[in-house]
Chain A
Amino acid sequence: GAVVSQHPSWVICKSGTSVKIECRSLDFQATTMFWYRQFPKQSLMLMATSNEGSKATYEQGVEKDKFLINHASLTLSTLTVTSAHPEDSSFYICSAATSGRNNEQFFGPGTRLTVL
Chain B
Amino acid sequence: QKEVEQDPGPLSVPEGAIVSLNCTYSNSAFQYFMWYRQYSRKGPELLMYTYSSGNKEDGRFTAQVDKSSKYISLFIRDSQPSDSATYLCAMSRIKAAGNKLTFGGGTRVLVKP
Contacts and interface: CB of A to CB of B under 8 A. Distances in A.
Q: Do A and B bind each other?
A: yes
Interface of A: 4, 6, 30-32, 34, 41-44, 46, 49, 51, 91, 93, 95, 97-99, 102-110, 112
A31 B46 contact: no
Interface of B: 6, 8, 34, 36, 41-46, 49, 88, 95-101, 103-106, 108
Please give me the 6 A-B residue pairs with the lowest Cβ-Cβ distance, nearest first.
Answer: A107-B43, A31-B97, A97-B97, A43-B103, A43-B105, A32-B98
17 contacts: A30-B97, A31-B98, A32-B97, A42-B105, A43-B104, A44-B103, A51-B98, A95-B43, A102-B49, A103-B95, A104-B46, A104-B49, A105-B46, A106-B46, A107-B43, A109-B42, A109-B43
A91 B46 CA distance: 19
- Majority secondary structure of chain B interface residues (helix, strand, loop or mixed): loop
Contacts of B106: 42-43
A36 to B, nearest CB: 9
A27 B103 CA distance: 26
Contacts, number: 60
A97 B97 CA distance: 5
Given A43-B88, A44-B88, A49 B98 contact: yes
